[in-house]
Structure formats: structure tokens, C-alpha cells
Structure 1
Amino acid sequence: MARSSIPEGRPRRSRAGAKLKTLLVLVIVLALAGAGAWYWLASELDRRIASALEAAGGGGAAILCENRQVFGFPFRLGLSCDRIAIDAPQDGLSVSAGSLRTASQIYDPGHIVAELAGPALVSAPDLPPLHLDWRLAQGSTTLWTQGLERASLVMDAPVVSLREGEGAGTPIARSQRLEAHARRNGAALDFAFTDTGVAATLPNVPPLPPFDLAADLTLDGAAGWLRTGVPGANVSEALRGEAGTIRRLALTLPGGGGADLSGPFRVSESGEISGDFRLAVSDPQSIAGLVGVLVPGTGGLATTVVGALGFVGRQEGGKTVVDVQVREGEARLGFIPLGRLPRL
């Protein structure tokens, strides 16, 4: 007589049902744990921000994050402010801007992206009141066990204007796109910068042609700047005593003129620059005039370099290339003295 298969099937269905129930319970437990972790992280983020704002106030600076909120449940963790402002009267600095939104994925909380709305109103020592605006401003940071590892900023269509009251007055500079990137590289700091389609209208200066700027360099001992900021909030003074390598420092004109500088350098404690540089130039006259306006105090040096290019320059890829030696601020093209670089 054939054996029935029905009695054998019931235990299998029972075992499958038990596994399904176990799986459902596990999913529910994980969901509850994830929700609890998110709310704990959100509470901890808000607490730390509140503590940082209070600490800044104790140090004499006031930082505003209007209508602060933590958002993003369940997969993101973000902070939003309707308006931000920094007021540091002891440093003569005041900055205010529009809404700020930051966010990170819950599985990668060290990578934070942010977006800031304009305009920004800036008051700082040795500067007229400025009005900054843009079409889009985004940033990102990467944090690790020792703090900030890298940071990036991208701005589309930035415009810098003199401020009239709370509004924009005369524009003095605008560009198509600005990018800045910095990262720790051991004890060094790598920095890259580009600004394309720059149009500057400076007071008491003839109209300048549009140009592009680019920089790619390493500062040997400046990795800590990412965690603590530029010492004294003054780049010129912070560079004193530092050394590094310029991989590319470029100024380019739309008509084809350009200058590329590269080479190792160091800065003395008194701000004098030394280094061995490779300078490649096309359309030297146009570049010399623009450099003299953009970097005060270098007009005479730029003109002297142009005059010497025909004597000691060599042709490489359609550009005239020279090797410039700088010792404690004194620049030379071989045996030809060029003059002094401005002190930082």
C-alpha cells in the first residue's frame, strides 16, 4: 500500500513558518534598533552643536543657527538652519548668510555634504563691506579619527559686490565657477583651486580682460590647518616658516595668453620667499600687465621678466620657458637680476 506524503509535509511547513516568524522578529528588532540609534545620534548631534555655539559665545564670538533642526530619518542625518551668522567683534569680523542644510548618510556619518543659500554679508578688517551672492554653493567634508581629512567647496556664478546697506552695490568681481579642495597628506596639506571666467572691475583700475586662475600645491607641515583653521586667520602670516611645492600656479587669458609657474619653495620667518621655479609664458606682454594689477607690488618685476624672456628663454610647446631662482625675495634669471618679490 502506498505511503501518504501528507503527514511528512506538515513538519516542513511548520519549520518554514517558524523560520519566517524568526526572520520577521529579527527585522523588527533591527528596525527598532536602527530607529533608536538614529534618534540617539540626532540628539547627540543637536547637543554637540548647542555646546559648540555656547562655547563660541564664551570665547567672545556669537554664532547663530536660526530655527535649528535635525532631520533625515531613517537613512540620513542632517542639520538645517533658516539663517546663519557669525559675529566676532574682537576680530572685527561679521558674516551672515541664508539657509544652511547639511546631511550625511547614516552608514557614513563622516562624509558630510552641505548647501548654503545666499547672499552673504561680510564685514572684515581692511576690507570694505561686501555682498557675496551665487547661484549654487555646495561643500563637502570628510571626517576621520583625527578630525577633518578633506574639504571641498564649489560655487556656481559667484559675484562679489560692494555693499550698500543690506543690498548689493557695485560688482567688483564675478566668475563662472569656483572650486577649492583641500586634503591631509600625512603631515602635509594638499590644496587645489580653480576659478574660471573671472571678470574683475576694480576701483580706479582700467577694465581687465576675463581670465582663469588655477593652483595646485602642497604645504609640507600644514595638515593641522584643516582641523584648527589657518593660524591667526591670516594666510600670509601663517605661511611664514613653511615650505612646499607648487605643482601648478596658472593664469590664463581667453585669447591664448598664459603663465604657468611650478617648483619647490620656502618662506622665511620674515616673509621672504625662496625657491627654484619653472615659468612658462605665452603672450608675455598681456600677462605682465594683468599680473601687475592682480598682485600689487609685482608690476615692475613682471615687466622685467618679459624683457628678459627673449634673452634666456627656450621654446617648449609654443611657450617661452625660463628657470627663475629666488633667494630671500631676490629673483634672478641666471645672471640677470629681476628685482624683489613682495614680502608676505
Structure 2
Amino acid sequence: MTTPAEPDEPIATDMDHAPKADPTEAPPAKPARRRFQLIILAALLLVALWSAGWFAIRHYAEGRLAAIQQDVADQGGSFACESERISGFPFRFVLNCTPAAITLPDSGLSARVSAVEAIALAYNPTHLLAAAQGPLVLRLHDGLGVNAEWSAAKASLRVGLSGRLKRFSGVVDDLDISLESPDKLIAATDLKAKHGELHLLQADGDATALEIWSTAQGLAAMLPGAPALPTLNGDVHAILPGALPAHRDETVDPVAAWLAAGGEVKLDRLGVDVGGFMAVASGDLTVSPDGLVSGRVAVRVDQLDKLPDLIEAIRPGHRDQVARIIGPLAAFLKPVTVDGKTWRETTVTIKDGRATVGFIPLGTIPPLKLAKTAEG
């Protein structure tokens, strides 16, 4: 058998008839490039939606502001800004009102301030910021006038979805207040403070309890016809159970809710430093619907011998009376050491506003003027 000769040409296959690749033709797009293009497209779409949403919310806010102004006008009052603008795109809504003025004839209230700036964060609408520029001119229904100036005044407000307060913080520097009244009892009274803070927040472990932190530094009062009073530094920390009701379909008065819950005040600290005399109080108190205070408070004092001169500056003619009380009072004071400092401490009992240490009467706390009672 003759062996087949090896062919001179290669045996043809299907590959030989396939179309040849054009070296000038671009390669097909890679998956990574497609993903990048989709990301860019999604980002552009998100920017467009965010921008449309921002302008829609601004339009809604302008409408709500106009509705509020009209509601006030329908009641015979006015609420207006000579210059009003909402800006802050893309992440904030900034309302500038310069100057801001409001008049409410039914309540006898009128107020005017040089400028107000309110800021809402687009990504956190339950957090509001505000700042105001003085001067403030305020008139109340009883004719009381308040004129105020400051170097800085700022506030922050956080609320929950239920409308319940989460936190309010207010800070003011170089505050100067002048009070005037038609009966001249407090005419030309001036109050000054180098720095002041007020913080209201939801207490840990109890969503209905209001926690209060406040401090005042360099507080000075100048009363008409009286010598200048010593500068005061003070601070307070207290918890009021039941003072943070949830706001649902209607406004709830926190004072009435607090009184209905028992009117408790858990006083963690009330500190005063004035004219060299220092006092710190803590204890549990209750306030009745008619404003009378009761409870027991531990009081620590230092430099008690300076108290008669201090009272004389506040209420002339009372130095000797205070000096007579201090002698017997010292018998109820015991030395205690707190944070390395030695104080003299006693317990003050308060019954319907009457304060005593043992059998020694200290005076009467006037009834608190509460806006509303638990009964309304």
C-alpha cells in the first residue's frame, strides 16, 4: 500500500473562511467602563432630583411664611421683614430677615430686631439654627419695655418626629438689657452679663422629662436709686419630670403637663458666687398649681460673714436683721469637704413657700407666676 504523500498546502478548515479582524476597528467596551458610565449617569440624576427637591421645598417654605404672615394680619397684627430671602443651595435653607418686626395687638406684644438668620439643614430637617443681631426693642401687654444689645446671640433647636423637644441651646455674649415700666418701679433698671447659656434637653431614660442646664457669668444689675450690686456668677442644673409632652395634633402646654405630673423639680445644683459669698443648693422640690414651692434642700455656704453686707446692698436697712440670724444659723451648719474645699452645710425645709432651718425662719418664697395651671 502506497503511503499518501504529505500535501504541499495545509488542509483548509472553517477558520480559513472566517472574516479577518480589521486592525483599525475599536475593541468592544469593557464592563468597567460601562459601570463608570452608569455611575456618572446616576450621579447626574441624583443631582437633578436633589436640586428640584431643594427648589420645591424653598417654594413651599416661602408659601408657609406668607401664610403665617397673612394669619397674623387677619388677627390684626403684623409680621414682616423689610428684606427677606431664602438661600443656602444645595445643603441648607437659610432665611434672612432684615429687620424683623412683629406686632400682636390681642396680646399687647410688639418686638423688633435688626436681623434674624434661621438655618435648616436639608439632610437633617429636624435641626434648626438661628442667630440674631441687636438691638432688640420689645414691648409687653402691661407696658413693660425691654431694650437689649449683645455682641453675639445664637440658638440651636432639635426636635423629634413626634414634635417633642430633643434639645434647645441658646448662647449670648456681652448682653446689655434695659427695663422700663409705666409704674416706674423698675424704670431704667439695667442688667448686664458677660456670657450666658441655656440648654433644654430630653433627660436620659425619660422622654417626658425636661433637663435644664444654665449658666451666667459676669451678671450685674443696676437698680434705680441703689448702689451698684456685686457681680454675680451662677449656674443651675435641674430635671422636671413630665415637662416634655408629645405634640401630636395640637399644641400642648408644657407647664400644665408638668404640673399635672406633680410639678417635681429634681435640683441637682444651684450655685451662686456673689461678692465673695458662695452658696450651692441641691434637693427635691414640688410646685403646686398655684405656684407655691415645697421640699427639702441641702445648702452649702462659704464666706457666710459677707452675707449681711451683701443683703444691705440689695435691701438697705436689713444688715442687722441678717446678722442676727447668722449667729443662731451657724449652730445648724456642719463642715463638709467637697472637691477639696471645706463648706458649711445645712438643710432648708420649705413648706408652701415658707423656708426654715430647724426652728429659724429664713423668709418666704413668693408664689411662682405660672402662665397656666394643670386645670387650664
Mark yes or no: TM-score above 0.5: yes
Larger Rg: 2
Q: Specify the alignment match of 1:153 in structure 2.
A: 170
One of 360, 367, 370 as aligned partner of 1:336 = 360
1:194 to 172, 190, 215: 215
Distance 1:217 1:303, change over 3 A: farther
Q: CA deviation at 1:326?
A: 1.1
CA–CA distance in 2 between the matches of 1:238 and 1:58?
34
2:10 maps to which residue?
none
TM-score by length of 2: 0.77
| Residues 341/189 of structure 1: CA separation in 2 closer, same or farther (3 Å cut) | same
1:108/1:135 CA distance change after superposition, 3 Å: same
Residue 179 (str. 1) matches residue 197 (str. 2): yes
Counterpart amino acid of residue 144 in structure 1: G
Provide the C-alpha distance between the structure 2 equivalents of 1:229 and 1:83, rounded to a whole number of angstroms: 30
User: Cα offset for 1:277?
Assistant: 0.2
Residue 323 (structure 1) aligns with? 347
SS of alignment partner, residue 239 of structure 2: strand
Q: Does residue 114 in structure 1 map to residue 130 in structure 2?
A: yes
The answer on 1:271 being equivalent to 2:291 is yes
Q: Does 1:216 align with 2:233?
A: no
Task: Give percent identity, aligned residues only.
Answer: 26
From 95, 106, 119, the counterpart of 1:90: 106
| Deviation of 1:220 (Å) | 1.8
Show the counterpart of 1:101.
Answer: 117
2:331 aligns to what SS in structure 1? helix
Distance in 2, matches of 1:329 and 1:32, equals 63
**Residues 1:140 and 2:156 aligned together:** yes
More displaced 10-residue stretch of structure 1: 26-35 or 105-114 = 105-114
What is the CA deviation profile of residues 26-63 of structure 1, one whole-angstrom value per residue up to 9, with x for unaligned ones?
Answer: 11101101111111221222222222333333445432
**Secondary structure of the residue that 1:100 maps to in structure 2?**
strand
Give the counterpart letter for 1:332 in structure 2: T
Q: Is the 8 A contact 1:301 1:338 kept in 2?
A: no
2-structure distance, mates of 1:316, 1:49? 57
- Decide whether aligned partners of structure 1 residues 194 and 311 sit closer, same or farther in structure 2, where only a CA change above 3 A counts: same
Deviation digits for residues 282-338 of structure 1 (CA, Å, limit 9, x no counterpart): 12243466568779xx99997676344311101113211111111122222123333
Q: Residue type matched to 1:94 in 2?
A: S
The 8 Å contact of residues 225 and 231 in structure 1, kept in 2 or not, is answered as no
**1:252: Cα distance to partner?**
0.7
**Structure-2 separation of matches of 1:43 and 1:280:** 57
SS in 2 for 1:306: helix
Judged with a 3 Å threshold, the aligned counterparts in structure 2 of structure 1 residues 287 and 91 are, in CA distance, closer, same or farther, namely farther
Match of 1:44 in 2: 60
1:250-265 equivalent positions in 2, closer than 5 A? 250-253=271-274, 256-265=276-285
Residue by residue over 1:235-255, the C-alpha shift from the partner in whole angstroms, topping out at 9 and shown as x without a partner, is xx98996222111112113x6
- Superposition pairs of residues 53-68 of structure 1, within 5 angstroms: 53-68=69-84
Partners of 1:225 and 1:119 in 2: CA distance: 35
- Aligned residues between the structures: 329
Unaligned runs of 5+ in 1: 164-168
Q: Which amino acid in 2 is paired with 1:74?
A: P
Q: Is the 8 A contact 1:72 1:78 kept in 2?
A: yes
More deviation, 257-266/180-189: 180-189
Counterpart CA distance in 2 for 1:133 and 1:343 is 31
Q: What letter is aligned with 2:343?
A: K
What is the distance in 1 between the residues matched to 2:282 and 2:324?
Answer: 19
For 1:17 and 1:24, how far apart are their aligned partners in 2?
Answer: 11
Task: Tell me if the contact between 1:86 and 1:94 (Cα under 8 Å) persists in the aligned partners.
Answer: yes
Q: Which residue of 1 aligns with 2:13?
A: none
Q: Secondary structure at the match of 1:342?
A: coil
Listed as ranges, the gaps of 5+ residues in structure 2 are 1-20, 181-186, 369-376
Say which of 16, 25, 37 aligns to 2:32.
16
| Aligned partners of 2:193 and 2:219 also within 8 Å | yes
Q: 1:123 aligns with which of 133, 139, 144?
A: 139
Distance 2:272 2:332 in 1: 22
1:74 equivalent to 2:90? Answer yes
| Matching residue of 1:203 | 224
| Contact kept? 2:243, 2:255, Cα under 8 Å | no
Query: For the residues of structure 1 that align with 2:326 and 2:152, how far apart are their CA atoms?
Result: 39
My pick for the range that moved more, 129-138 or 146-155, is: 146-155
Normalising by structure 1, we get a TM-score of 0.83
Paired with 2:312 and 2:201, the residues of 1 have a C-alpha distance of 31
Q: Counterparts of 1:293 and 1:85 in 2: how far apart (Å)?
A: 39
Q: Is the 8 A contact 1:242 1:267 kept in 2?
A: yes
